[in-house]
A and B are shown apart, each in its own frame.
Chain A
């Protein structure tokens, strides 16, 4: 089932001679439980795509359907509610409110949605446990490592049981080991917990965790390939010439 469907999605910044086409008729479909990486050189429009799908920005033309709802027709408040309930965000920077502790940060979407404090906290802590932070519930962001902060952000993105998780360079700020862990976690988010995950990254090794990679250039999708095939790792090793 398609969680995300874009049709002819176009975004033009500015107008007239200074107009810049950031996104040029992009058609993209994302199914439930699918983990898709978007790659491409900087300025290729991958972040713009993510922002449009997340309803953070409005397209110049084209449509975005999230979970069966066409979002360009939604008011700011409706969009906000959709984000709160159906979409989870993980950013590269500024992911957490510095003055709240891990469980408070993770509980934010629920609290903003009017869920009772105790219930919100319980759910947040449950998710923090799943992402492996069960022992750092009361730590403030400045007491957590970068990787741990991103785990909190992922727990926050999942706490409202969204259909879609959007991640913009989630490992851009991390060392390679933490990056690997976060990427695995995102794979888990899609494979085990059944969310559609759309991740923008420039790191092949991180993108390789996805099921599918969308390559973009100059605002267009130039390739869209499934990379999870039946071949086993052993075959891959042999092919590399290591076995």
Chain B
């Protein structure tokens, strides 16, 4: 889900080809060590998005190489992306996804990072409310222990969210990390790393 949304988000910034998308994603999350996204996954996702009519592909001729396919967002894609921004993410997978939402929204003039945070916060508090309600009704300590773990996870997420909220302004000033200037051609070094 998050990779799909991330690709939509990155394409919302500007049309890109597959390799560029992969590079931009890595720049966003801080490298493969943090979030290892396989180039193949990028391509299969793009394919699915294209099939769903969320992106369109155009071929671009390159001097001294094969044609490159550049992907761009369709109107349906934009709508899908906006829906994603607006929705809160429940706590299980949110770390990555919320992060993506915030940083992508920062680079997306059509999106509102504050609104993303608000929505996320509301979602988390709702979960927390339910959990604490359940917690105060818990019959056994063992149940309470499990609930406590969940509650503490949310608390941690909320803390992170508050921090993100506090840093929004600063992040906006620094803008989204961009690709370093690279030589043309297929990067071999990266492939060799693997």
Residues of A close to B126: CB separation below 8 A: 227-229, 231, 236
Instruction: Report if A233-B134 is in contact (Cβ < 8 Å); known contacts: A215-B121, A223-B122, A242-B149.
Output: yes
Question: Are A233 and B133 in contact, CB atoms less than 8 angstroms apart?
Answer: yes
Q: Which residues of A contact B130 (CB under 8 A)?
A: 229, 231-233, 235-236
Given A236-B150, A240-B91, A240-B154: A227 touches B118 (CB 8 Å cut-off): no
Given A184-B136, A242-B146: A213 and B125 interface contact (C-beta under 8 Å): yes
Find out whether the CB atom of A204 lies under 8 angstroms from the CB atom of B146: no
Interfacial chain A residues near B121, Cβ < 8 Å: 215, 223, 225
Q: Flag if B128 contacts A239 (CB, 8 Å).
A: no
**What separation, in Å, do the CA atoms of A238 and B91 have in the docked complex?**
9
Near A by CB (< 8 A), chain B positions 116-157 give: 118, 121-122, 125-136, 146-147, 149-151, 153-155
User: Nearest-CB distance from B148 to chain A (Å)?
Assistant: 10
Residues of B within 8 A of A229 (CB): 126, 129-130
- Contact of B27 with A by CB under 8 A: no
Q: Is A114 an interface residue (CB 8 A)?
A: no
In the complex where A180-B136, A240-B92, A241-B91 touch, is A227 in contact with B150 (Cβ < 8 A)?
no
Chain B residues whose CB sits within 8 angstroms of the CB of A215 once the complex forms: 118, 121
A233 engages B131 (CB within 8 Å): yes
| A204 partner, pick from B114, B118, B125, B136, beta carbons under 8 A | B125
Q: Which residues of A contact B147 (CB under 8 A)?
A: 233, 237
Complex interface residues of chain B between 136 and 182 (CB less than 8 A to chain A): 136, 146-147, 149-151, 153-155, 158-159, 166
Q: How far apart are A16's CB and chain B's nearest CB, in angstroms? A: 28
- The reply to whether B125 and A205 form a contact with Cβ atoms under 8 Å apart is no
Chain B residues with a Cβ closer than 8 Å to the other chain, count: 31
Are B128 and A208 within 8 A (Cβ)?
yes
Interface string of B180-193 (1 = CB under 8 A from A): 00000000000000
A241 to B118, CA, bound (A): 22
Asked if B91 and A225 sit within 8 Å, CB to CB, the answer is: no
Contact in complex: A236, B136 (CB < 8 Å): no
Compute how far the CA of A241 lies from the CA of B95 in the bound complex, rounded to whole angstroms. Answer: 13
Question: Can you name the residue of chain B whose Cβ is closest to the Cβ of A211?
Answer: B129
| Cα A208 to Cα B127 with chains together (Å) | 9
A240 close to B155 (CB less than 8 A) = no
Q: Which of A208, A235, A242 contacts B125, CB < 8 Å?
A: A208
Tell me, rounded to whole Å, the shortest Cβ–Cβ distance linking A200 to chain B: 16
Does A240 lie within 8 Å of B125, measured CB to CB? no
Instruction: Identify the closest chain B residue to A183 (Cβ).
Output: B132
One of B127, B133, B159, B166 near A240 (C-beta < 8 A): B127
Q: Check if B122 sits within 8 Å of A227, measured CB to CB.
A: yes
> For residue A234, which residues in chain B have a CB less than 8 angstroms away from its CB?
134
Assembled-state Cα–Cα distance A223/B154 (Å): 19
Query: Which residues of chain A are within 8 angstroms of B118 by Cβ–Cβ distance?
Result: 215, 222-223, 225
Q: List B residues 80-139 near A (Cβ within 8 Å).
A: 90-93, 114, 118, 121-122, 125-136
Q: How far is the CB of B115 from chain A (nearest CB, A)?
A: 10
Known contacts A237-B150, A242-B146; A208 and B91 CB within 8 A of each other: no
In the bound complex, do residue B125 and residue A236 qualify as a contact, i.e. CB atoms below 8 Å apart? no
- Chain A residues positioned under 8 Å from B166 (CB to CB): 41
- List of A residues within 8 angstroms of B122 by Cβ: 223, 225, 227
Whether A205 pairs with B128 at a CB distance below 8 angstroms is: yes
What residues on A are CB-neighbors of B92 within 8 Å?
A: 238-241
Nearest 4 A-B pairs (CB), nearest first?
A: A233-B134, A239-B90, A241-B92, A208-B128
26 of the cross-chain contacts (CB-CB < 8 Å) are A41-B166, A180-B135, A184-B136, A187-B136, A204-B125, A204-B154, A205-B128, A207-B125, A215-B121, A223-B121, A225-B122, A227-B125, A227-B128, A227-B129, A228-B129, A229-B126, A232-B130, A233-B134, A236-B127, A236-B131, A236-B134, A239-B90, A239-B91, A240-B153, A241-B91, A242-B150
Partner-A contacts on B (CB < 8 A): 90-93, 114, 118, 121-122, 125-136, 146-147, 149-151, 153-155, 158-159, 166
